[in-house]
Homo-oligomer: A and B are copies of this chain.
């Protein structure tokens, strides 16, 4: 009888770890440093050692542990193979095979944004739903798609890489991915700050943002103070993102659309601006689709990892 499982969400700075019971209650969570030097050779040994030490500490019998779910910041195939992961230093890596060899436990792996969506479905903003679209608005724009309770992985592990869908022809700057006009260039924290700098440069209009460090948070703070320039920036952001989400919903027909990441800390006002542009462009079946804010924050990954191995 399995009673426990582990989630290991591997990021470029830390590996977040969680011990769960099979009902989804988190019993323990902690972090270890991600050692990316030497092509990240120590990352999986360190992760395995941390889990084995926790089992020792809590006197868990391996027979009671369902296994380890692993989140990886990059494409990963269903059988746990990572072709390369820039910010961990890895080349080709058989993640689940290596981790099973080092722990004796069954392992499953998923892309970090996808497992975060699974976590929000299991215990967060999308709880009770099976068809979920999660957008993570942080430094970049990430996404995870759940179809009938399962991650949409895609043929190359790039399902839900919604930050790079094309939304604008009129732009000279290139996105980090090499293309031009990606959603991420308008709807990430850096994208919002970029839109604000453009708006500030275009006129001498007074604004609370002048003389300050221009960040997405500063833009939303100024908006809440009634700043007109900040309002125009958020309108523009809302138009790009709301329209793009209407397209995603037209393709996927989700039950719920969840917005997470640092930008989502702006709260419900953010959803108001997104929905203003979502609704006119959404197909009739999706016009009333529910929007929600993510609830698990940085823990969404470990929850989703745990769910991955329990499924």
Task: List CB contacts (< 8 Å) of A122-171 with chain B.
Answer: 131, 143, 145, 147-148, 150, 152-162, 164-166
* CA distance in complex: A168, B216 (Å): 28
Q: A147-B152, A246-B165, A280-B179 are in contact. Are A285 and B254 (CB under 8 A)?
A: no
Task: List CB contacts (< 8 Å) of A187-239 with chain B.
Answer: none
The smallest C-beta distance from A236 to any residue of chain B, in angstroms, reads: 13
* CA distance in complex: A246, B179 (Å): 12
* CA distance in complex: A250, B184 (Å): 13
Q: Which of B147, B154, B156, B285 contacts A156 (CB 8 A)?
A: B285
Contact A251 B165 (CB under 8 A): yes
Interface status of A67 (Cβ within 8 A of chain B)? no
- Highest count of chain B CB atoms <10 Å: which of A148, A165, A250: A250
Interface status of A247 (Cβ within 8 A of chain B)? yes
Contact B162 A251 (CB under 8 A): yes
Residues of B within 8 A of A178 (CB): 284
Residues of B within 8 A of A96 (CB): none
Contact B181 A281 (CB under 8 A): yes
0/1 per residue, A237-278, Cβ < 8 Å to B?
000000100111011111100000000000000000000000
Residues of B within 8 A of A153 (CB): 148, 253
* CA distance in complex: A243, B164 (Å): 12
The smallest C-beta distance from A54 to any residue of chain B, in angstroms, reads: 33
Interface status of A286 (Cβ within 8 A of chain B)? yes
The range of chain A's interface size is: 35 or more
The smallest C-beta distance from A158 to any residue of chain B, in angstroms, reads: 4
* CA distance in complex: A152, B151 (Å): 12
Residues of B within 8 A of A143 (CB): 251
Residues of B within 8 A of A152 (CB): 147, 252-253
Contact B155 A281 (CB under 8 A): no
Interface status of A27 (Cβ within 8 A of chain B)? no
The smallest C-beta distance from A173 to any residue of chain B, in angstroms, reads: 15
* CA distance in complex: A164, B287 (Å): 12
Interface status of A75 (Cβ within 8 A of chain B)? yes
Residues of B within 8 A of A179 (CB): 280-281, 283
A to B CB contacts below 8 Å, 10 in the list: A153-B253, A155-B254, A157-B285, A158-B283, A159-B251, A161-B250, A161-B251, A161-B253, A166-B247, A179-B283
- Given A131-B154, A153-B253, A179-B283, 7 more A-B residue pairs with CB atoms under 8 Å apart are A147-B152, A154-B253, A160-B253, A165-B247, A165-B251, A166-B281, A178-B284
